[in-house]
Amino acid sequence: MASEALVQKPVVRNIQAPLAKGAGAGHPAIELSAEAILEYVTGIERFKKGPHHQTFERRPIKAGAALAGNIPDIPIKKFTVKLEVHGPEIPAEYQPPIKTNTETRLQTLRMIALLSKGTKLYKDTVNALEEEQLLTQGAAA
Partner 1 sequence: MEREQSALEKLEAKLKQLWREQGDAHVIAAKHTEFVVEPKIFLGNKLNPEVLKLLLMNYLAQSSRQDSGVGNIDVTPEKLTIKTPKGKPLVVVRDKNIIQQYLAKQG
87 lies in the binding site for partner 1 (CB under 8 A): no
Are the CB atoms for 9 and 87 separated by under 8 Å? yes
Q: How far apart are CA 33 and CA 126, in angstroms?
A: 41
Q: Which stretch binds partner 1 (CB under 8 A): 40-48, 71-79, 87-95, 99-107?
A: 99-107
3-state secondary structure of 113: helix
State yes or no: residue 68 binds partner 1 (CB under 8 A): no
State the minimum distance, in angstroms, from the CB of residue 123 to partner 1: 9
Pick the closest to residue 15 from 71, 89, 84 (CA basis).
84
The nearer residue to partner 1, 3 or 116, going by C-beta atoms, is 116
The DSSP call for residue 92 is: G
Amino acid identity of 117?
A: K
The residues of the shown chain that bind partner 1, judged by CB under 8 A, are 12, 14-19, 29-34, 36-37, 53, 70, 84, 96-102, 104-105, 108-112, 114-116, 118-121, 124-125, 127-128, 130-132
